Amino acid sequence: MTSHHARAVGPRVSKELRDRDDAGRPRTAVEDTEGGAPLRCCLRRSRPGERVVLVSYAPLRRWAAETGARPGAYDEQGPVFLHAGECRGPGTAATGYPFVRPGVLRVLRRYSADGHILGGHLLKIPETADRTIDGAVDETIRKETAKEIDEVVDAALTDAFAAPEVALVHVRAVEYGCFLYEVRRPRPGGAPYETGPDVGRGE
Ligand SMILES: [Zn+2]
């Protein structure tokens, strides 16, 4: 269980992006023969043979449209993978933070309620390269590693939201700068994370 909610691109926005993305262009679906594309609609990597579409997505603009923020020049867009057709989203069975594995670098960008950037924090997911038994990862060790990684990401997000002016955090890959997911400030006294019709959990 994590303290923060990694928000998928919800089903309504996914549909809009499939029709016409945030660069204003229709995109062509392809079969992902190898698999491994990070799907922002389901917050998991694609499996070989799944049909995916690479679209241009403006996460801050989309968030601002919901909240009334005016990010101005901070608005930016970049490529994300989605399932090519309607999908079920991450579902309620999804646990832990997506798109993590030992050794990868992430940056957590903090934004104010106005949509202005407040700063960023580089996060390296710890290496656990020696945690294998005869080359095969033991299931118990795999679960322990996943728990450790979740705790590291959890702590980084909690740290990011420790500043009261932080309303939103974008988690991105460092090398390519790809947007991975957004996290919104938890509501005080409410659910551990925001829920709604378009958060992409189980719809
Ligand atoms: Zn999907």
Residue 151 lies in a domain: yes
Expressed in angstroms and rounded, the spacing between residue 41 Cα and the centre of ligand 1 is 4
| pLDDT value of residue 197 | 40
Distance CA 71, CA 116 (A): 6
CA of 7 to the centre of ligand 1 (A): 13
Q: How far is the CA of 118 from the centre of ligand 1 (A)?
A: 31
> Cα(134) to centroid of ligand 1, in Å?
35
Number of structural domains in the chain: 1
Structural domain that includes position 137: 11-184
Strand order in the sheet with 38-39: 30-32, 50-57, 78-83, 38-39, 44-45
- Calculate how far, in angstroms, residue 54's C-alpha sits from the geometric centre of ligand 1: 12
Residue 97 maps to a domain:
yes
Distance 10 CA to ligand 1 centre (A): 9
The whole-number pLDDT of residue 14 equals 97
Q: How far is the CA of 42 from the centre of ligand 1 (A)?
A: 4
Q: Would residue 96 be called left, alpha or beta, if left means φ above 0 and alpha means ψ between -120 and 50 degrees?
A: left
Q: How far is the CA of 87 from the centre of ligand 1 (A)?
A: 5
Q: Does 201 reside within a domain?
A: no
Provide the pLDDT for residue 196.
Answer: 44
Task: Determine the distance separating the centroid of ligand 1 and the alpha carbon of 55, expressed in angstroms.
Answer: 13
Cα of 200 from ligand 1 centre, angstroms: 9
Asked if 76 and 41 touch (Cβ cutoff 8 Å), the reply is no
Residue 197 lies in a domain: no
- 170 CA to middle of ligand 1, Å? 19
Does 190 map to a domain? no
Ligand 1 mean position to 89 CA, how many Å? 5
Q: Is residue 22 part of a domain?
A: yes
| Distance separating alpha carbons of residues 39 and 113, to the nearest angstrom | 27
- Answer whether residue 82 is part of any domain: yes
pLDDT of residue 144: 82
- State the pLDDT at residue 129: 53
- Please, which residues have CB within 8 angstroms of residue 61's CB and are 6 or more apart in sequence? 22, 71, 75, 77
Query: Hunting for tokens 């938890």 — which residue is that?
Result: 186
pTM of the entire structure?
0.86
Q: What is the residue-level pLDDT of the chain in tens, covering all 203 positions? A: 688 999 999 999 999 999 999 999 999 999 999 999 999 999 999 999 999 999 999 999 999 999 999 999 999 999 999 999 999 999 876 678 999 888 899 999 999 999 999 999 999 988 875 555 555 667 787 788 888 889 999 999 999 999 999 999 999 999 988 899 999 998 766 544 444 444 433 32
Sequence-distant (≥ 6) Cβ neighbours of residue 18 within 8 angstroms: 27, 29, 53, 55, 82, 84, 85
Domain assignment present for residue 16? The answer is yes
